[in-house]
Chains A and B, each alone.
Chain A
Amino acid sequence: MADPLLRLDDVEQSYGDERVLDGISFEMDRQDVQVLIGPSGSGKSTILRCINRLVEIDDGDIELDGDSIFTMDENDLRRQVGMVFQDFNLFAHLTAIENVTLGLKHVLDMDDEAATEKAERQLEQVGLLDQRDSYPAELSGGQKQRVGIARALAMDPKLMLFDEPTSALDPELIGEVLEVMRDLADQGMTMLVVTHEMGFAREAATDIMFLDDGRIVEHGPPEQLFEAPEQERTAEFLERLTALHGGIHG
């Protein structure tokens, strides 16, 4: 059995005196789609940010493809790990296609032609080739997020991190983003997703982790967490979440 693609080993992280992650350990195999859920402030986003070192950990280790990420050059690491942000963070002064080609040209050193061709394919994959020359301010939230996904995918990452990708969207725009994510999962992309979209979690996740207070309270396949959670807290949280977000978009 090969190494897991991602392994977190007893990761601890604090901001000042506040302990955010209190011993997080889990593994992801290639093609896994793991969903992180939990109340706000439970550390979900911080886990993602530790994995691409936007946030540094205090203790423990994180391995990508068998190597500790702390032995790698941080820019090399980030090339291999795509990230999609809650508020998109598209480069505001660049068109959709330029958002995608920026990294291709200046991180992967592709020439203009190859970068453009690749970016067009990537935009097509998220259904936005017709918007290639639009600026972010001219796109809807759903379109922005799809460009954000295309931008991350263009770097050919081994792993994609999604940080509440639909939380900033109007309800009618959530579906188009989830559809792109589902396609991506079907194509075998390894994905770690922070979301409260329970429809997506139930349908696309190989595993769900419930996080509270910087610890993983429960970790298992969707059937287990939804149908027979072992922890009282998981049950309570999922009940509230389903009442709010229940499979509407799934």
Chain B
Amino acid sequence: MTPLEPVALLSEDWLFVLRNTDYLLFGLLWTLALTATSLTLGFLLGFPAGLVEVYGGRYSKTAVENVGVVLRGTPILVIIMVTYFGVGLSPAFVAATIALGLRSAAYQAQVFRGSIQSVSSGQLEAARAIGMSKWDGIRRVVVPQALRRSFPGFQNEFTIILKDTSIAFAIGLAELLTRSYDLFVQRTTAVLEVILFVSLLYFIVTFSTNRLLDYLEGYVAIPGGGR
């Protein structure tokens, strides 16, 4: 008896997936890169927007709120069409980053607004009472506590963005889902296998990043539970 080759146990369709692993993993790299740039842009815009929604003046607050409502109320497909075809941003990666980043900013603003508002107003009052300026008090007392409380919401946002990067399919960016589509139109019997494999990749990234964020949350937690 010759020992069985392990691959011999697999169907032809699974072998097809296996042969194209590299191709899919490169797609995953695009997906991860797009997730990172979109979340970063979303943070850079969303965090200040959250601050403005809590502490801003009447006009800046209204302006930020309205932009947020529009962005949250528009389908991501429309936003990405606008940045790519409408505004004409290119390459596709930049258009996708701007689209996903802007929408994420609108959601992240809500995450940070909530966590800023959850810090008791007495904290800022105490900072003001020792002679700190409002901005200094926000920066040194409110923000460090608010950021710690924004982990759960941010974790959600990460998970959503990771999977929403697949919308870049619409503008032909060769991210994970686009590449899986390329594969299964080539070999239509392997649709299920390709999709399952790709889902597994999404799951592995989501799961491990969420564990990492859990760990970070515990690491920066205030000893004794804070307040």
Q: Spell out A's residues near B (CB within 8 Å).
A: 52, 54, 75-79, 82-83, 85, 87, 89-93, 102-103, 106-107, 134-138, 151-152, 155
Contacts known (A102-B140, A137-B227); A107 close to B222, Cβ less than 8 A: no
- Interface flag for B130 (CB, 8 Å): yes
Query: B133: which A residues are within 8 A, CB to CB?
Result: 75
Q: Spell out B's residues near A (CB within 8 Å).
A: 120, 122-123, 125-133, 136, 140-141, 144-145, 148, 222-227
Contacts known (A85-B126, A89-B126); A137 close to B224, Cβ less than 8 A: yes
Could you list 29 A-B pairs, sorted by A, with CB under 8 Å?
Answer: A52-B129, A54-B129, A75-B132, A77-B131, A78-B130, A83-B126, A85-B125, A85-B126, A87-B122, A89-B126, A90-B126, A91-B141, A92-B145, A92-B222, A92-B227, A93-B145, A102-B127, A102-B140, A106-B132, A106-B140, A107-B131, A135-B223, A136-B226, A137-B223, A137-B227, A151-B130, A152-B130, A155-B130, A155-B131
Query: A76: which B residues are within 8 A, CB to CB?
Result: 131
Cα A83 to Cα B130 in complex, Å, equals 8
User: Which secondary structure dominates where chain B touches chain A?
Assistant: helix
Cα A47 to Cα B86 in complex, Å, equals 59
CB distance from A145 to the nearest CB of B (A): 12
Would you call B222 and A89 a contact (CB within 8 A)? no
Would you call A91 and B131 a contact (CB within 8 A)? no
The listed residue (B127, B128, B136, B224) touching A91 by CB distance below 8 A is B127
Would you call B132 and A135 a contact (CB within 8 A)? no
Cα A83 to Cα B129 in complex, Å, equals 6
5 nearest CB pairs, A to B: A137-B224, A79-B131, A89-B126, A103-B130, A138-B224
